[in-house]
A and B are shown apart, each in its own frame.
Chain A
Amino acid sequence: MSLVFLIGLSWFFAVILGVLDGRRRWVGWLSVAGLTAAFAGVIWLSVLVLRDGTLQMVGGDWAPGVGIVLRADALGVIFASLSTAVILAALIYEVLDGVSSRMFPSLMLFLATGLNGLFLTGDAFNFYVFFEIAMIASYALVAYGEGARQIRAAFIFATVNLLGSVLFLIGVAALYHLTGTLEMAEIAVRTQGVATVPVLLTAVVIFVAFGVKLGLFPFHFWLPVVYTGTRPAVAAVLSGALANIGSYGLLRFGGEILVREREIGATALLVLGTASIIYGALQAISRRRSSEVIAYSSIGQVGYILIAIGIGGPVGFAAAVVYAVINALNKTLLFLCCGLRGWLVGAAFVIAAFSVAGVPPAGGFLGKAALFEAGVSLGSPAGAIAVVVLVFIGGALSFVYMFQIYQRDFWAGEKEGKASPLALRSVALVLAAMILFIGLWPEFLLGLSRQAASVLSGGG
């Protein structure tokens, strides 16, 4: 029952906030309180799951499959905690900065509801429904601020991602047609008995759908204009929380449901991942605005996640989780910093820059290390060398673009002006502290990622 309660908590607050004027300070803080409660709930659930193993419940107490199966496993709760934390940080940031639209707090909570729902459901169609809750909330959020740039970004974002959603819907329907069930675990079992071609095509469609969400090359073309056009808090949420749908979806569908298909397509995943890494990094190098650099950097960074998923196995999946978590935190922090000024901001920004480049003690080096581990562990020496070289080159390019933009913005004085309020800057500092914490106590994330990988097929 706790699962429904959890998802329901943020939903309940979101509904209440929907009729209130979010620009009022107390409403803002009410939304923070609501999301904090939801976050506490997710953390509590995570503790339960990580301690006792997967929790499962079926809607209406029907047999699994007849009713909707809700299932909290290690992979799901990690992504749920991460996304809720990111949304909470962005919400606090925006409330401190002054919300400019009535609907903003409510939409943020709806977004959290949708994300938590899809991370915690075990039913493919229910996944789609929560997916759409998150997406429609984010379409409205991109328009937040309602300036011409935001509207433009929102239209592009909504059109492109709607196409992605439709593709996903088609994929879910195809899976039902092929297996006669919507329960993910059962689909995983039954696809084994179905001919390869239709399942593979379905897998392709689902992959493209998630690729669009994730902003993977070549599905990324919507991403830079949206991330730079929208407000920093929303960009942070898009890159730190919403993009998790893509990485989680690829892990869940590729690692648990369409296992055989992932193996067939592993080469394609590696190729696309490589393209993403190189392309994103090369584009990022000479971009002028920090938000633009970070947007292209996200395209590159998700390439690493794809590579890790392509490698698969306990080491590969764990690396993907490590990378996804760190990348989400990095990008959230960086986008929030884009809207801030003052020297503490420089400190927070540079910690995130170290993290992106993989310089310890910022947490990012763990992601790189996990990828090297996955690469070196590959059976074929040629494959191992290729992955290691790729990650090395990608990392080298990320040094170039992160430090160039850092120096330009914070040293060469291109970003001078009045310092932002201390409260706002401390949100960034808290995130930076989290990134440092992950780097200094690696067991936290490494242990979690191993547990998450163990729920996936071949990840145990």
Chain B
Amino acid sequence: MTLLLSLAIAMLFGAGATLLMKSDLIRIVVGMVLISNAANLFIMASGLSRGFAPLYPLPEGALVSDPLVQAMTLTAIVIGFSITALLLAIAYRAYLDLDSVELDELEEAEEREESEQEKEWRPF
């Protein structure tokens, strides 16, 4: 099970990283969602015990799933979601400015400003 969980987490992370390499803002946001999911699953997987849901009344002597990691996962899911939403808003705002979701155009603007500065100059 350890191996399978690790594989799944790695695949989520890898897929997210792949999407981060794409050149459109939406895909980058999606990539971040996948990477966050990988982290959330990792928290869940790092629980110290696995068994029944941690709800009283508990069966006598049975293993109970680690409630602390569940609380942590919950918190992390909500936080991750909020940040994703903000990121999406920034991406949308960038689209409004550029009329494009292309990262390249964002970067071209950066490049342009940069090269404007590189004109003739004196160091002091």
Contacts and interface: CB of A to CB of B under 8 A. Distances in A.
The reply to whether A and B meet directly (CB within 8 Å) is yes
Interface of A: 125, 128-129, 132, 135-136, 139-140, 143, 146, 148-149, 151-152, 154-155, 158-159, 162-163, 165-166, 169-170, 173-174, 176-177, 180, 182, 225, 286, 288-289, 292, 403-404, 407-408, 411-412
Interface of B: 20, 25, 28, 32, 35-36, 38-39, 42-43, 46-48, 68-69, 72, 75-76, 79-80, 82-83, 86-87, 90-91, 93-94, 97-98, 106, 109-110, 113, 117-118, 121-124
A412 B124 contact: yes
A170 B39 contact: yes
A412 to B, nearest CB: 7
Nearest to B32: A162
B5 to A, nearest CB: 11
Contact of A155 (B38, B87, B118, B122): B87
B46 to A, nearest CB: 4
A143 B39 CA distance: 26
Given A125-B72, A136-B82, A412-B124, 5 more contacts: A148-B97, A151-B93, A155-B25, A163-B32, A170-B42
A171 to B, nearest CB: 10
**Dominant secondary structure of chain A at its interface with chain B:** helix
B79 A129 contact: yes
Contacts, number: 98
Contact of B46 (A173, A292, A408): A173
Contacts of A163: 20, 32, 35
Nearest to A407: B124
The 4 residue pairs across chains A and B that have the minimum distance between CB atoms? A177-B46, A173-B43, A288-B117, A407-B124
A398 to B, nearest CB: 15
A325 B46 CA distance: 36
B82 to A, nearest CB: 7
Contact of B118 (A169, A176, A288): A288
B110 A225 contact: yes
Contacts of A136: 82-83, 86
A152 B123 contact: no
A143 B69 CA distance: 34
